[in-house]
Amino acid sequence: MKKPAVINHAGLSVSDLDAAVRWYGDVFGFREVGREYLPHVSTQLVTLSNGACELELFRHKDSLPLPPERSHPDPDLQTQGTKHFSLLVDDLYETLAFLKQYDGTEPIVGPGKVGRYLFCYIRDNSGIPIELQQISKDAEG
């Protein structure tokens, strides 16, 4: 039997690479592990890792802003393609309190509970929706 596949990384196009590197580092403990220029697509790439997962951050020389319908997880479901990524946190409410103090980030959906997870959606510093999840205390065993 084959070993199951696991998600290796998520790729995000951002408005400001250095600001995004700082934001993901300060908020979620990601650190830069690589930086390169991709000349065939006129794009700078920064790879981040927090030991558990990786993010690829892209900045195209002619970057376009995130379309409004893609900036909220609910209407974005109408558009085919990748929807969001989720980060598992130890304490959802502690993370939200930190984000509020750090840069004023507020949830755009939730907090709530689905199945065994507490969850909410926030936007990163480029406006990209991210789901935050915590395993519910009553689901741990």
- On the question of pLDDT at 141 being above 80, the answer is no
Residue 6's pLDDT band (cuts 50, 70, 90): confident
- 13-38 pLDDT per residue, tens: 999 999 999 999 999 999 999 999 99
pLDDT of residue 110: 96
CA distance 38 to 43: 5
Question: Residues, the chain, total?
Answer: 141
Note the pLDDT tens digit of each residue in 51-91: 999 999 999 999 999 999 999 999 999 999 999 999 999 99
Q: What is the pLDDT of residue 140?
A: 53
Q: Are 12 and 123 in contact (CB under 8 A)?
A: no
What pTM was computed for the model?
Answer: 0.92
Amino acid at 120: C
